[in-house]
A and B are shown apart, each in its own frame.
Chain A
Amino acid sequence: MGKPDRSQLISLLTDAAALEHSLCCQYLFAAFSLKQDTAEGLSEEQLTSVVGWERLILSVARQEMEHLGLVINLLSALGGAPQLLHPAFPYATHLFGGEMALEAFSADTVKKFICFERPEHIQPADAFCRAQPALAEGVAYGTVGELYALIRTTLKEAAAGPEPLFIGPLAAQVGGGVLGTDFPRLGALGGGYDVYMSPVTDLASAMAALDRIVEQGEGSPGDHEVSHYRRFLQILDELEAAEPPFAAARPVVANPALAADDPSDGVTVVSNPAAREVMGVFDAAYRTMLMALFRLFAHTDESDDELAVLRSVAFFPLMTMAVRPLAEMLSAMPAHDPDDDTTAGASFDPSTTIAFLPHREAAWTVIDEQLRAVTALARAAAGRPGAPPRLAYVARSLELIARRFAAGVGLAQTSC
């Protein structure tokens, strides 16, 4: 690499954002594949273990969201654009000697996650990583650790130059106050939901953000128990020690999709009509959430109140009241018609049509229209005979989100 410049940093951070988002989706998919009730063939003791694993995986996924947010703050600080997309699953990666894929929880899946979070000092073979292919020409890093090490080195070199490096407006970044993760308490802020969001203003704060990302993933010498790597090792230990062994996950198909461009692209096309309808709701909700997040992470002249409205759409309710319950419902629905004892799942299809909406008022109108559209989809799906009971609650939540958003940004409220 030649003299470090802004474009190199932005390129590396854009890669990092896509990577963090991709890992997050894979963790969520595995967590949402887990069984939730003794009626699914688990003993009370087994269910307690399974819920514990789900809790740990979701905690890691939340911190991947935090990493994504921190990387986007870094991008903003450098004058770059937010990156909230990732390739459609599955896709090949040179990072782990394998592929990025949406797969149900299993020992093999957990081993893949352990490889994802492997500290640099652990040998790949000791962390269940497949053989690493030789790096292609022009690829500057072979592991996640190397990617972040390269970002750190490049940042330091660029910051040492005469030109100002951190040129993006601080107000454009998203902190814990906006996201609601700064739980107020005497003497401290942050840590709500295991998330610490911090602004980037200079080299020191940039390095602190990168330290947090790396330490949460790999762990630091004094903090072994809480790293993602350790959490996944713990899950694997418990899973392999379970006596008798049991199936913790539903029979969720890998990489579920509504359509396949090419039969060899590795997706499982879901054919059950009811599941397909819920997948459509999920895709619409996920894309609307990304649209709102783009605007939240690249806001321009929104007031604090308007930012709160954007947050009130994207960060909490769409993630927790739509994306998650829809994904949980899907993993309990037959994937195929006729039923072959497999179940569907969330595609986490980011779609290539989603991009930053640059004009504030137009963006609000687009988001408003999307919210009303996904509400209509959810309501229609909820009205079908045999629809999952929770779907009506999701549809109602989507309607209320749409109403709050429209009122908050001053759009006329119409029925969804």
Chain B
Amino acid sequence: MLTLSFEGWWQCRFATDPDPTDDPRGVSGPTFTVAGEPPFDRTIRLQQPVAPRFPHEDDIGVSITAVENDGKTVADHPLSGAAVELIGDAEFMQRNLIYVTAPFIVMIDPFELQISGPGIVIRRAALWDVTRPRLRFDDVFLDSALVMPRVNQIAVQSATVAEATGVMDYTTARVRRRADLAAILQRTTDPVAVAALRKRIAALDADRQLEGARLAAEQFMGMQASYDFPLNGAPHVTDEAGALGGVIGTSQLWPVSFWLGGYDVDALCGYMRGTLTLPFHPSR
């Protein structure tokens, strides 16, 4: 078995409750667009963020951090550092509790994971029903047998998330962010950037007034949504140069286990950590 561990920051620019899911700007929830940014699009991006914000202008990207073969770490594996992506505009599916009846169930659809390293592309989707690969969540959200395998577990005020993000005190993190943004504002002259910074600062200042938004902001920072399901769609493996040194099994399921959490409503990004397990037979 080849076990690929991955982690890193991801971005999702989306309006959250109580704003409508399709709200393009964010008003009542803790997330919002600022001057100079395009409207929200709800896409979960593990690579190539759109209009990334301080302090994550340069560090958004989920990548392979370790590779194990049958439990043994493989140093300098060709997939080390490979980019992990979700293909096809993946979204968190909740639609203001139309799709689900509990606020912390956040299924992801579509879910097609791609890992691309030098000369290597590994890609596979998780389908709701392998016999009907075109089904989307809209089609199956009332079918518990199809939905249950993809339902996440939730933890709030997660220690695992805190260790990954370094945010050990949610309130202090918001206060520190406000100070950082104020310092940036002092040296910013571009009027659009100034308007953007002022809006972010105003939202952080509103923590004193709008308790609901503050609670949501802090809850997002500590939330950990954990997923564990197999990739069951048509597999795609490209390794023309044989860099993998073996064959990845394509008739078997590929279990993926990961969590998304530590979402920073001010910066519109969160952290991800997980593993993808691939059947692997080394070349002789």
Contacts and interface: CB of A to CB of B under 8 A. Distances in A.
Say whether A and B bind each other.
yes
Interface of A: 36, 43-45, 47-48, 51-52, 54-56, 58-59, 62, 180, 183-186, 191-195, 225-226, 231, 308-309, 311-312, 316-317, 319-321, 324-325, 390, 393, 396-397, 400-401, 403-404, 407-408
Nearest to B191: A44
Nearest to B23: A325
27 contacts: A47-B35, A48-B35, A48-B195, A55-B210, A58-B28, A59-B212, A59-B213, A180-B97, A184-B156, A192-B215, A192-B216, A193-B212, A195-B212, A226-B208, A312-B97, A312-B101, A316-B98, A317-B95, A320-B96, A321-B21, A390-B22, A396-B138, A397-B95, A397-B96, A401-B98, A404-B142, A408-B101
Interface in B16-50: 17-23, 25, 27-28, 32, 34-36
Contacts of A48: 34-35, 195, 198-199, 202
B212 A192 contact: yes
A268 B32 CA distance: 34
Contact of A51 (B27, B191, B213, B218): B27
A178 B156 CA distance: 19
A194 B210 contact: yes
Interface string B180-224: 000000000001100110110010001011111101101100000
Nearest to B208: A225
In which size bucket is the chain B interface? 35 or more
A231 B216 contact: no
Contact of B99 (A62, A308, A320, A400): A400
Given A48-B195, A317-B95, A404-B98, A194 B212 contact: yes
Contacts of A193: 17-18, 28, 212, 216
* Nearest 6 Cβ contacts at the A-B interface: A194-B212, A44-B35, A44-B195, A193-B212, A316-B97, A48-B199
Nearest to B202: A52
A30 B254 CA distance: 53
Contacts of A183: 215-216, 219
A59 B216 CA distance: 14
Contacts of A408: 101
A58 B212 CA distance: 12
A309 B25 contact: no
B80 interface: no
A59 B28 contact: yes
Contacts of B92: none
B257 interface: no
Contact of A45 (B95, B195, B210, B213): B195
B84 to A, nearest CB: 30
B141 interface: yes
B71 interface: no
B157 interface: yes
Nearest to B170: A185
B193 to A, nearest CB: 10
B159 to A, nearest CB: 12
Contacts of A195: 212
A399 B22 CA distance: 16
B101 A308 contact: yes
B101 A185 contact: no
Contact of B27 (A55, A186, A225): A55
A39 to B, nearest CB: 12
Contacts of A59: 28, 209-210, 212-213
A186 B157 contact: yes
A186 B156 CA distance: 9
Contacts of A226: 208-209, 211
A118 to B, nearest CB: 19
Given A56-B209, A59-B28, A321-B20, 7 more contacts: A44-B35, A47-B35, A51-B27, A52-B199, A320-B96, A390-B22, A397-B96
Contacts of B218: 185
A316 B96 contact: yes
Contact of B18 (A225, A308, A320, A393): A320
Contacts of A320: 17-20, 96
B25 to A, nearest CB: 7
Contacts of B210: 55-56, 59, 194
Contact of B138 (A62, A225, A400): A400
Nearest to B195: A44
Q: Which of A55, A58, A317 has the most CB of B within 10 A?
A: A55
Nearest to A401: B98
A401 B99 CA distance: 8
A275 B18 CA distance: 25
Contacts of B215: 183, 185, 191-192
Given A48-B199, A316-B17, A400-B138, A180 B96 contact: no
B18 to A, nearest CB: 5
Given A48-B35, A225-B209, A325-B20, A36 B25 contact: yes
Interface string B217-234: 011000000000000000
Q: Which of A59, A183, A320, A321 has the most CB of B within 10 A?
A: A320
